Structure 1
Amino acid sequence: MKNLNILKYAFISLLTLGVMTSCETTSSYEAELPSIANIAVTNSDFSTLEAAAVAGGVAGVLSNSNPNNPSGAYTVFAPTNDAFARLGLNEQTLGVLQKPFLTNTLLYHVSNGNLAGSSITNGGSSTSALTLDRRFITRGNDTYINGSKILATDVMASNGTVHVIDKVMIATGVDIVQSAIALQSANVFTSPELSYLVEAVVYAELVDALTASDGSPSFTVFAPTDQAFIDLGAALGLTFTQPSDIRQLPKETVQNVLLNHVIANDGKFTSELSAGVVTPLGGDELTLGAFTNGTLTVTGVGNGGEVANMAIPDVQTTNGIVHVIDRVLLPNL
């Protein structure tokens, strides 16, 4: 689908932020500090972030003062190399992401002004450069922004503040269905993903139920990858070679399976989920595993104890949180 809002946000934000030339004088203290961009350049733990900022066209932005804030400052939640690696990304593999989506993702980590670590408290929020809110969650002794753990705070720069996080934050700026279509249409990765899921949602006539509207509920959705559906077909003695092959199954069966992946719980990041049993819209219980290294496993009653792992956790949409998983969650069929 063309002209998705997911892409529009990136371009609007770039035009708003711009690449600035600063005529302001700086204090001697500020002059001694590196810029946010230079912190990434000089710290080997941020080499992938540095490469992403260059590829996404925001390195110039973060090298200068912020014209949209009286203090001239930005706050950046900076993912480490390990954070990018969790998504299979490094300096060499960033090309698998479409540039507009990469830019959009980077700007989601940026906000105006200096946000001190002491101001990051449970239940609070911060508005990103994309005008999308991110929320702070305390879990035990750790603090998270969305599903990303804050590893260090208050790294001072000449043009703002850096806080270090352990996962890349992702927000689409559109609803659950449009987010899946963005993946299916290769507007996120250069190769399509979630194509089988989109086909299944259309076939099962669940598009309207998962599309945002005023007053619509907010969901947690477990979204199986294309390979997860291909594996399901093999387990059922069917051959799935293209998304339309999902239509070999009865529509009612596909509806039941899909509803087994949706929880009406206001949309939860991994940092807000705990081990135990939850009930999806389909009615058959799902079992969540222990919260470990920022993710949880999930198992359907029809999966024979085989767990699904989170491939891409904590994708924020306008009507919920999506966790991409590597197995289809089966109800009692």
Structure 2
Amino acid sequence: MKKRLFQLSLICFSLLFVSCSDDDDDKQMTIADYVASSANYSSLKAALDRAGLTATLDASTSFTVFAPDNAAFSAFLEDNGFASLNDVPVGVLTEVLLNHVVVGVNRSSSLTTGYVKTLAKENTTDNEIDMYINTEDGVLINGQSSVVAADIDVSNGVIHAVDKVIGLPTVVTFATADATFSTLVAALTADPGFTYVTTLSSTTAPAPFTVFAPTNTAFGNLLTQLGANSLGDIPIPTVQATLNTHVIAGANVLSSSLTNGMTVTTLGDSFTINLGTSATFTDLNGRTGNIVVTDVQASNGVIHVVDKVILPQLD
């Protein structure tokens, strides 16, 4: 009996030793080393090599990488009409890969719901593109890609495996991924004739866009102000005119470009920016609201979050 217990103990110790050794081996590898060592990441390795990013992830700078496996890359290529990685323009491939990389070590225990900057950049301003992380049920990125294995520690950061390639987000991506904007999305799709979703998903002219995005609370307060029970109680032309007053076309206007007294010309009516102890706006009806979050960067524009719906001139 004692001999059998000794053998079992020896086996358990051996398994523990092997497991710890594997963990230690991972920690000795860089992100690039880890990707190169795994057959399941051969597509990611090929993509990094083609984009010239392998050296970046092999350096001493600490990064968090959300790593798509081979199946994720196959789905990405098929969904976007590419026969192989070699058919993806290098510039596009580079930005897509950088959209999976965040500076610093962000283990799963430190991830919270909200926006973080990636290394990808919007091409008219070089502003870093955001990633929306939702941790309410696991970890969901931009409403599309889930973390399926977390906290793979390596010498220069941490890797989280994801089940889909994280495509470059548009302003619509963030509007639909972030529940803060669910009423805005309802307004954008309130009429079959509306083309807002298609237009604001575009990466060519009239992009880029600057969107002053009202929160759900902002819409709720507006309905109360108007004595309406729902968006359906508001005439469609009024909804359309109101939505137009929140969008600038053809410019990615960052908060650093906003000035006191500046008139913002939109697809609808204009409004005025007020800068003091905080950033506010005044619409053509004399209503003032706060700009509560700035510079949420998408690939085709930027979002500034406002706490009041901006109304066009009311007759």
Tell me the TM-score normalized by structure 2: 0.51
Which whole-Å CA distance do the structure 1 matches of 2:28 and 2:125 have between them?
Answer: 32
Distance 1:74 1:222, change over 3 A: same
2:280 to 273, 297, 307: 297
1:21 to 27, 32, 35: 27
State whether residues 279 and 285 of structure 1, in contact with CA within 8 Å, keep that contact through their aligned partners in structure 2: yes
Which whole-Å CA distance do the structure 2 matches of 1:325 and 1:173 have between them?
Answer: 24
Aligned to 1:72: 60
Alignment pair present for 1:331 and 2:312? yes
Which whole-Å CA distance do the structure 2 matches of 1:77 and 1:182 have between them?
Answer: 22
1:180 to 153, 175, 198: 175
What letter matches 2:265 in structure 1?
A: T
2:184 to 197, 201, 216: 197
Distance 1:225 1:208, change over 3 A: same
Distance 1:331 1:72, change over 3 A: same
Alignment pair present for 1:250 and 2:245? no
Aligned to 1:9: none
State whether residues 136 and 146 of structure 1, in contact with CA within 8 Å, keep that contact through their aligned partners in structure 2: no
**4+ residue stretches of structure 1 with deviation over 3 A?**
66-71, 74-78, 131-137, 144-147, 213-216
Which whole-Å CA distance do the structure 1 matches of 2:182 and 2:284 have between them?
Answer: 25
Distance 1:268 1:322, change over 3 A: same
State whether residues 122 and 298 of structure 2, in contact with CA within 8 Å, keep that contact through their aligned partners in structure 1: no
More helix by share: 2
Distance 1:329 1:21, change over 3 A: same
Which whole-Å CA distance do the structure 2 matches of 1:287 and 1:231 have between them?
Answer: 21
Deviations 1:197-231 (A, max 9, x none): 00100115122222224444211110000111111
Deviations 1:7-36 (A, max 9, x none): xxxxxxxxxxxx952269xxxxxxxxxxxx
> How many Å apart are 1:172 and its aligned residue?
9.0
Alignment pair present for 1:279 and 2:265? yes
Which whole-Å CA distance do the structure 1 matches of 2:202 and 2:298 have between them?
Answer: 9
Aligned to 2:301: 320
State whether residues 212 and 318 of structure 1, in contact with CA within 8 Å, keep that contact through their aligned partners in structure 2: no
Which whole-Å CA distance do the structure 2 matches of 1:201 and 1:314 have between them?
Answer: 21
Which whole-Å CA distance do the structure 2 matches of 1:145 and 1:291 have between them?
Answer: 26
User: Aligned-pair RMSD on alpha carbons?
Assistant: 3.7
In the TM superposition, what are the counterparts of 1:4-83 in structure 2 within 5 Å? 20-22=26-28, 68-69=56-57, 71-74=59-62
What letter matches 1:180 in structure 2?
A: A
SS at match of 2:27: coil
Aligned to 2:146: none
> How many Å apart are 1:73 and its aligned residue?
2.5
Alignment pair present for 1:236 and 2:234? no
Which whole-Å CA distance do the structure 1 matches of 2:252 and 2:125 have between them?
Answer: 14
Which whole-Å CA distance do the structure 2 matches of 1:216 and 1:20 have between them?
Answer: 47
Which whole-Å CA distance do the structure 2 matches of 1:322 and 1:172 have between them?
Answer: 18
State whether residues 273 and 291 of structure 1, in contact with CA within 8 Å, keep that contact through their aligned partners in structure 2: no
Tell me the TM-score normalized by structure 1: 0.48
SS at match of 1:234: helix
